[in-house]
Every structure is written in structure tokens, then in C-alpha cells.
Structure 1
Amino acid sequence: MSPLFRPLALGIYTLFLLAGVVCALVLPTLSLFLAKEIGVRPFLVGVPFAGIALTSMLYNQVIGGWSDKLSDRRPLIAGFCLVGAVVCALLAYSRNYWIVASVVILLLSLALVSFSQMLAYSLDYAERNVPAERVPLFNAIVRAQIAIAWVAGPPAGFLLASYFGFTTMYLIAAGMFVFIGVMTLRLLPHLDSHPHHLDHIEKADVLPLTTGQKRALLLSVIGFSLMWGANNAYLISLPLHLKDGLGIGTEYVGWIMGTCAGLEIPFMLLAGHYAARVNIMNLVKLAGLAALVLYMGVYFASALWQFFALQIFNAMFIGILAGLGVSVIQDLMPGRSGAASALYTNTSHMGNLISSLLVAVVADVYGYHQVFVVNLLIIALAILAFGRVRVKNEGKL
């Protein structure tokens, strides 16, 4: 049986699907919760997102490297999921901004480490069972589960928040966190996470990085951070721009995001398939070009159908970025699955910090509409960074 479809691989896909659903319930609606349910100004909406970014980077960097020395990641994943359940239960009943902000910054960011550890587990599996040329496709399939979850997750989150309230939505999310933690221990077998214990992982794989690898890694981290920053600024600003600027109901935001998630899946799988044949940096830069079209279109769009139509470019952007990003970092850090997954996850957190500061400053002074103009500059800088990354041959760093 292909290692892409063995029972263990199917268990990994299932858990990523469930993780994607709970993230899609909680994260896209958080800005709306802060702005409308609690009633704070744009600057205070951005503060918790910036705090999540900073604490998540700290947690991931410390826990990611340390976790490579452990023999079993599963208790970590389950424990962090339990933290997520506690966070959602607190958000369900608190409407004090400073309590909510503190819980989100200190504890939600810790709960999100569960997803980077799930990613590390999947990289451990890939290193041991998947042929090297098929690893990008495996990673793309893993990420596609999150995209599938986001087809239904944001619409469900905004509908629950709109018609049943945030209390109900957060209690459902808390239950899902508990379920994911339990299923992690039941679905996934013990898998030695330390590459030194495996005969087919060569000793050279864990030698210090070369100067070229370090330079390519730095440029890639900068590029991915900028791209995720633009994406997160879009996610924060779009619901409020549509509601306040165009008078479009927030329930449609979920359907817009769900449409993008559905369209992302084929782009993720195609990116994974062609990564072994095509210069991988060209694919990443193609994602950047799609983002430029997206944000230009969103800035000038005024009708609901136009936002739906633009999701084809959003899907190309996120599909390639999410499908190939971890493969790029993994190629540059062989034999270090925990550290590689933590660093890749941290690019999204660094992006969150960029976007939080962007939204806090730009939206507070000029409004949410102008955020999309700044996104264009951010994506242009990301394309320049990736343009300076050199690859050895087709599809490989």
C-alpha cells in the first residue's frame, strides 16, 4: 500500500481535518468578537493578535527544538488541546476585554502549539515512510485537510456567532479541542520522533547547516512571514470592511472564506505534485503574484459577487503557500522535524505580528479598507525575498 494512504497516514489526515475545523471556528471570528461583542476600537482589536504572535513564537521555538528529544509527541498534542478547551470555555463566558486579551495571548497561543506538534508528527512519519520525491505531495495532502475544514468552518463559525451567539460557538470549539486530544492518543500510534534513532536517517542529515542553507532559510522565513502577514491582515480586515464599509452581512464572510478553502484544495495538490518537477521557488513566487491580484481586486471590489470571484486568486495564493511552505523549510533543515515545523509555524506567527501591527495602526487611522493597499507592498517584498533564494535543481532547494 502507498505510504500516502496507509492507516497511519489516514489517521494523520483525520486529525488535521478536525484541527482545521476548530481553527476555522475560532480564528476568523475573533476580530468580530472583539470589535462587536466586546466593542473595542481597531487598535485594541490588533493588540491580542500581536500578543498571540509573540507568545506563539516563543512557545514554538522553545517547545519545537525540545520536542525533538522526546520519544513521543502525542501527550504534548493532547495536553495543548486541553489548554485550548479551557481557553474556549473562558471566552464563552467572559466579556471583559483585558481578561479575554490575557487568555488569548497567554493560553490560546500555547494551545496552537498542538498544531505545530501535529505537523512535526506528520514530518516524522514522512521522513520514515514516504519517498523523498513524494514528501511535498504528502505535506500538501496534510495541509489540504485544513483547507477542507475551512470550507465549512468559517461559514459555521459566523452563522453560529450570528444566530446562536459567541457563547455557543466557543463551547462547541471547547468540546472539539477535547475530542481532538482524545483522538490523538487513540488514532496515532507511538512514533519515535528523534531521527538519531533511525538507521535510514544519515548522520549527515543532522550536521550543522551550511552557509547557503542558512541564507536560504533566512530569506524563506522572511518571505513566508510577509505572505502570512498579508493573509492574516486580510482575514482580520475583510469582515469589518464588508460590514462597516459596504454594508454586507457578516454571515457572507464565512461563505467567502469557505469558497476559498474549497478552491485551495486542487491548488495544494497540484503544487505538491509539481514540486518534484518544477523549480519550487517559481511556484512560491506564482503564489505571490496571485496575492497581488487578490488584494488589488479586494480594494476596488464593491459587490458581493466580486469578492466571491476573487477567491480563485486567494485559493491559488494560499494553496501554494500552505501546500509547499513546510516542504521548503523541511528541505533546508533535514532530520529536524520538530525544529522545522516550529520554524515554519513561527513564520505564520511572525506574519500575525506583522498583520496585527498593520491593522492596529493603519485601520485605526485610515480604516480597514486601506489595509489592502499595504498588503500589496508586503507581498511585493515577499516576492523579492524569494527571488534571492537559490535552488540546486528542479523542485529541490
Structure 2
Amino acid sequence: MLIGASALFWGFQFAFLNPALALLLATTFDASAGEIGWALAIYNTGGFAASLVIPAYADRLHDYVRPMLVCGLLTFALAGVLAVTTSLPLAVLGLVLLGGPAGVGSSLLFAHLKHTGAGPGDVVRTRALVSFAWVAGPPLAALLIGGFGPRAVLAAIAVVALFNIGTTALMRHAAVVAEGDRAAEVAPVRRGQVAVVVVVFIALQATNSATVSVMSLYVTGRLGLDVVWAGIALGVAAGLEIPALLLIGRLTGRVPGRVLLVSGCVAGIVYYVAMAFAGGVVWLLGLQLLNAWFFATVAGVGLTLFQQIIPRPGLAAGLYTNTRRLGAIAAGPLIGLGSATRLGYGAVFAASAVVTVVALAGLRAGVAEAGMRNEDSS
């Protein structure tokens, strides 16, 4: 229950902030569109660096709870800085120095799980709680902003930070899993294989980022539907991701991880190909079931794979987190295809299918199998 509560609070923390950040910068700090772009770029760069440096430091300490506690305190400080200042440079400085490190808390939670002996199924089920927070968080943030103004979301973040601090402090006194109960470790994996896994997951994350980014344009431009259907489709996919992760958690240990991951990639390929030529609301919504299974396997099985092939829990969680950030950057060329072919934004889905096929080939060539060979024998 303590780990589950902590996962929810860490999920809510930035499910409140990240979707509302651009609006907050525009309305509270009078930032222009260009300034918002630069601010977000600098903030994400700081987050990228922090998600590698802080977990690596925690690995050396063999302690993930104390750095997690610091992340909670930094979140509270960030909410305070953004609430009291009206200076855009000071706000950006706060986002980099406080927000970047604060965002590592969720990664440290999963590193703590691995360090204390949690099995892959436990990790996946905990990841489902983070997904639930990301489904509920943005609508709650929108309600707060609509009812009380943009700064109201900062008060919510401060409250969540206090809960994070409380649950993390309790973890320091919670019993850990005994050495004999720990999840089985895998044989060391060569750095070259780890690098290939990282590249494969950057590619998979890029396809998701690109297709989510163009969904509104695809729905209005190619399908000729109202833009509201884009939001409904993405909401359906996000909602289905939670039961998909819970199902993966139940299947983990019974079904080899590589099989689950391959099934997700196949679902993703079918989804992207079908979306490239789909027409109508029924297709749009019905196909989100495949989309949800695809991303649930990338998010759930992918995280456990990184933890299995990289012996340092903090580094494993940090690298996996950054595949999402790098995937968003790599999505740029895929999005550019939307105006370069006769398929329009359907070409983004078609290209994503090709990228997923290539990624699946990398997995099938032995990369995932090497990382999960011990899972199959357990």
C-alpha cells in the first residue's frame, strides 16, 4: 500500500505540472510562443541530465529513498518559487534547478523497488498506478485552472509534494525484501547489447510520440472529424492502458517477457497500418485497444527489461526514462512526413509501422532474449 500510494503521488506530481506548464508560462509570466519553446527545451534538457546523474549517485549510495525524499522537497520548493515570482528567467531557473531533479523521483521509486527485491510483476503493477495518475491528473489540473486560475495548480502540486515527502519518509522505516526473496538476477549483458536495447526503445517511443502529436491533425485533416474525437481517442487509449498494464503484471512470470514484448510490437504494427488507411469514428476508437496494448508493453515490460539487463537499478530506471525524452526528439522526422506525402498525416502512422517492424527485428535478433534469458529459466 505504501509503494502504491507513493506511485500515485509521484504520478500526480508531474501529471499536474507538465500539461499545464505552457499555459502557466503564458498566462502568469507573459511568455511568448518562442519563449515558451525555449523554456520547455531548457527544462527538459535539465530533466534529461538529472535523470542520469541523480540515479547514478543513488546507485553509488545503494540508497534510493533519501534522494527520493530530496526530490519531494525540491518539488515543494519549485511550487513555491513559481507561485511567488513573476520573472520568467527566475521561473526557468527554478524549473531547471528544482524541477529537473524533482522529476527524478518516479525513476528512483522504481529503482528502490528493484533494489529491495521486487519482481517484474510488482514493477508493472506499480507502473499501472503511475499511468492512472496521468489519466486523472491533466483533467483535474484543467478543472483547477478553470475554476481558480493557473496558479491554483501550483497549490495542488505543493500538496502532492507533501504527500510524497510523507510516504517517502515512511519508506525509510519499511521492511525490505529478504535477500533470498529477491527477484532472480540475469547474467551480465554486454554494453553493445544494452546500447541496442536503448536504441530500439527510443524508436518505439518515437512512434508513440509522433502519432500522439499528430492525432488532432489526423482526425480533422484526414478523417474529417471534429477535433474533439482526437481527445476522445487518446483518452480511450490512456484509459485502456491501465487494465493492459495490470494484465501484463498478472502474466509476468507465466508468459516470457519477450513474448509479451513481441505481442505488443505486433499490435503496434497492426495499429499503425490500420490507422494509415482507417476511416470513421468506429475504426478510430476501436483501434485504440491495439494502441493501448502496444504502449503498455513498451512501458511495463520495457521498464523491467532495462532493470534486468542493467545491474544498477538507478541507471536502469534513468536510461529507460530518457528513452521517452529522446523518442520525442526522434519523432520530429516522422511528423515531418505529414506534409511530405499524398497520405498526409496518415503517412506518419505508416512510417511508424515501418519503424516498429525494424525495432521488432532488433528484438527478434536476440537483444531482448539476452536480457530475459534468466526470466525464461525461472
TM-score with structure 2 length normalisation? 0.77
Q: Residue in 2 aligned with 1:68?
A: 59
Q: Which of 168, 172, 186 does residue 188 from structure 1 map onto?
A: 168
1:368–1:171: structure 2 CA closer, same or farther, 3 Å change rule?
A: farther
Report whether the alignment pairs 1:380 with 2:354: no
* Partner SS state of residue 276, structure 1: coil
Higher mean C-alpha displacement, 106-115 vs 369-378: 106-115
Higher mean C-alpha displacement, 324-333 vs 115-124: 115-124
Higher mean C-alpha displacement, 381-390 vs 66-75: 66-75
1:14–1:394: structure 2 CA closer, same or farther, 3 Å change rule?
A: closer
1:154–1:368: structure 2 CA closer, same or farther, 3 Å change rule?
A: farther
Q: Which of 232, 254, 263 does residue 240 from structure 2 map onto?
A: 263
Q: Deviations over 1:257-285 (max 9, x none)?
A: 22112212222122223232333122112
Q: Residue in 2 aligned with 1:117?
A: 105
Look up the equivalent residue of 2:361 and give its one-letter code: L
**CA–CA separation in structure 1 for the residues paired with 2:349 and 2:98:** 29
**CA–CA separation in structure 1 for the residues paired with 2:91 and 2:353:** 32
Look up the equivalent residue of 1:177 and give its one-letter code: I
**CA–CA separation in structure 2 for the residues paired with 1:333 and 1:232:** 25
Percent identity of paired positions between Structure 1 and Structure 2: 23
On the 8 A contact 2:337/2:347 being kept in 1, the answer is yes
Higher mean C-alpha displacement, 80-89 vs 285-294: 80-89
**CA–CA separation in structure 2 for the residues paired with 1:87 and 1:309:** 44
1:364–1:83: structure 2 CA closer, same or farther, 3 Å change rule?
A: farther
1:49 deviates by: 7.4
1:312–1:47: structure 2 CA closer, same or farther, 3 Å change rule?
A: farther
On the 8 A contact 2:260/2:297 being kept in 1, the answer is yes
Q: Residue in 2 aligned with 1:362?
A: 337
* CA RMSD, Structure 1 to Structure 2 (Å): 4.3
Q: Residue in 2 aligned with 1:137?
A: 121
- Count how many residue pairs are aligned between Structure 1 and Structure 2: 360
Q: Which of 249, 253, 274 does residue 276 from structure 1 map onto?
A: 253
Q: Deviations over 1:317-338 (max 9, x none)?
A: 111111122111111123x222
Q: Which of 269, 292, 297 does residue 320 from structure 1 map onto?
A: 297
**Unpaired stretches in structure 2, ≥5 consecutive residues:** none
* Partner SS state of residue 302, structure 1: coil
**CA–CA separation in structure 1 for the residues paired with 2:38 and 2:107:** 27
1:272–1:199: structure 2 CA closer, same or farther, 3 Å change rule?
A: closer
Higher mean C-alpha displacement, 140-149 vs 366-375: 366-375
**Unpaired stretches in structure 1, ≥5 consecutive residues:** 1-6
* Partner SS state of residue 226, structure 1: helix
Q: Deviations over 1:162-204 (max 9, x none)?
A: xx49x94x534433322222111112226569xxx99949xxx
Q: Residue in 1 aligned with 2:313?
A: 337
1:234–1:69: structure 2 CA closer, same or farther, 3 Å change rule?
A: same
**CA–CA separation in structure 2 for the residues paired with 1:243 and 1:64:** 42
Q: Residue in 1 aligned with 2:207?
A: 230
Look up the equivalent residue of 1:184 and give its one-letter code: N
On the 8 A contact 2:117/2:179 being kept in 1, the answer is no
Between the two structures, name the one with larger relative contact order (CA 8 Å, sep ≥ 6).
1
Q: Residue in 1 aligned with 2:327?
A: 351
**CA–CA separation in structure 2 for the residues paired with 1:257 and 1:272:** 23
Look up the equivalent residue of 1:333 and give its one-letter code: I
**CA–CA separation in structure 1 for the residues paired with 2:18 and 2:92:** 16
Q: Deviations over 1:69-93 (max 9, x none)?
A: 4551234322442476479769xx9
Look up the equivalent residue of 1:171 and give its one-letter code: R
